[in-house]
Structure 1
Amino acid sequence: MIRKYLVAGLFTLLPLVVTVWILKGIFTALVGIFRGPLTWLAHAIQLPDPPTWGLALFSALATGLLLLLVGALVGNFVGRQLLDWLDELMMHVPVVKTIYGATRQLMGAIQSGQGGSFKEVVLVEWPHPGSFTLGFVAHRDCSWAVAGGESMVAVYVPTAPNPTSGYVVMIETTKVRPVDLSADQALTWAVSGGVVVPARAPRGTGRVPEQP
């Protein structure tokens, strides 16, 4: 009976603990970004060091204002020219351009719906023959990397419980089966470690349908 209650308590509190852990990470990151400048400013005007809650509040407000400012700049000609100049500058910095360029292309694909954009869920045989998992079509036509790659698709296979890390594999189209699931359902399944089963059962035809 005690063991039953312990297990029930664990699974009841675990989602709350994970949520608090993620929020704590965000809180710590925000405070770390602005701690140095705010502490320097406080010393410059002869004020005591700002408290942690003050740093967190200012960091959250500053981040929100920065996002609003960038969004407003994108909406006018002068702002777009400035952002284009900054974009070109970043693409000429060694090492930085690799990370920045890949991230920019990923965000562009998600916004424009090009190349699959992780919206199409498929069933792939991974990581070895006889075992299967869900993945997302990232791009079609892998001829740039493999001879005869016109008949292959690049599939992103997320890891559990953190879907932001994973593997990108190139697979023959005939070995990839489309699944009647939304991207949200597939991500929920991955984050839950396979515990949360989508309401609709997957069905595949053995081929990935071409995008119109």
Structure 2
Amino acid sequence: MNDPKNLFLLLEQIRQGNEPAFRQLYEITKSRVFNTALSYVRSREDAEEITQEVFIDVFRSAGSFEGDANVTTWIYRITVNKSLDFIKQKKRQKRFAFLTSLFDRDTGEVVHHPPDFVHPGVALENQENAARLFQAIDTLPEKQKTAYILTRIEGLSNIEAAQVMSTSVGAVESLLQRANENLKKQLLAVYKSLVADS
């Protein structure tokens, strides 16, 4: 994302209320934050909302940054937490909407997965496969999902992912192994259904 020392200096300036420093930090890190959020929510609009929330939090929390991790790890941590919170909130809203729809037949379909999911890190010809992969990733337990997104999609090392997740490298490796097994099962089932339909 940039030189860690440079980012730390920017954060120091942000603590003192320096807005140009905040804009600079935003420009350096926004695409990674957006892509990570998009990997969780699969909607550009939702990812943009999460990105805004992340940077509001970065600005407000700059003073409480203790330097126990580097700045990018700290920002990833905020992004993961905001993304997971957003998903939980959406699920609550969907449950409420579903309950409402039981009494009001005019509300139409409640659960909606956007069919036009496009991730900026995926080549155009691979978007259909990527959409299937992200649907499979959605079924993973929370920790497996985070470990997989950080390492396989965002390209962090297992050590960096462990820092973001505040866990051990061994735990990340174990989560990835289980995630890979679960994804293989999911994607194999999808492949078999596609073959059966063709």
Q: What TM-score, normalized to structure 1?
A: 0.25
Structure 1 or 2: more strand by fraction: 1
Q: What TM-score, normalized to structure 2?
A: 0.26
Q: Quick check: which has more Rg, 1 or 2?
A: 1
Larger RCO (CA within 8 A; separation ≥ 6): 2
